[in-house]
Amino acid sequence: MADFSDQLFGFQDLLFENFDGRLEFSGNNFGALWPGDGKPGLWINSISRMGAIYSLIVREEEIFIEERKRAGGVEVEKARDEDIDLVLAPVFENCTRVLDAREQIVARDLYWEAVYDTSKRGLDRAEELLLSSIEKNPFVGEPHVVLGQFYLTKGRFEEAEREAEKGVTLLLEWGSPWDKRMSWEGWIAWARVLLMKAKEKSWPETSWGILNLGLVK
């Protein structure tokens, strides 16, 4: 799961023709040109399924060990590596949720329209697009971060604080970015700037003011 989240982005979708979002590595578009269009990759469905399977394994192991204890067996059998804790990742609500493959595509495209198209056409639809993206895929932090910035530009500081805080939380849970146009450290730094400014109830109203925030790598 960690490898997928750290390494995959839109280029692999082109390379393996991952058009349905299930990431089954069945395509063979070896002529795909690096680095692709820069969109976030469609790997969320795949690793949410991995997480769900892993959570079942963890649960089965817990039941097995508990039943053995009740039968008078040993508490920890090191030959089975039972001294190693099986830890569930915090993502997908501790690996209890699976994101539908189609929903992740819709969510990604809504996010992309918000951050890419509205940057050229204006912010009129940004809130609607980002809220819809979050509704479809509530498991990644970047849409919350961008929505937090949108609210700051509108002077809606309480909403900005809520979204920036949620974005930071999700980014920290992942430890890697979904939108890999920026590094994870860059996303964290920017989200923390937004959170700080939301709490201060202030936001620059000039381009130089934005640039001089100065905390993003």
**Boundaries of every domain in the chain:** 101-211
pLDDT in tens, 121-147: 678 889 999 999 999 999 999 999 999
Query: DSSP of 126-139, one letter per residue?
Result: HHHHHHHHHHH-TT
Does pTM top 0.75 for this prediction?
yes
For the cut 60, the answer to whether the pLDDT of residue 217 exceeds it is: no
Mean pLDDT of 100-120: 91
pLDDT at 119 over 70: no
Predicted local confidence at residue 120, as pLDDT = 64
Identity of the residue numbered 19: F
CB within 8 Å of 9: residues ≥ 6 apart? 35, 36, 38, 39, 40, 41, 180
Q: State the pLDDT at residue 124.
A: 81
Rounded CA separation 124/132 (Å):
14
**CATH number for the segment(s) 101-211:** 1.25.40.10
Q: Residues 74-93: what's their mean pLDDT?
A: 80
% of residues, the chain, pLDDT over 70 = 95
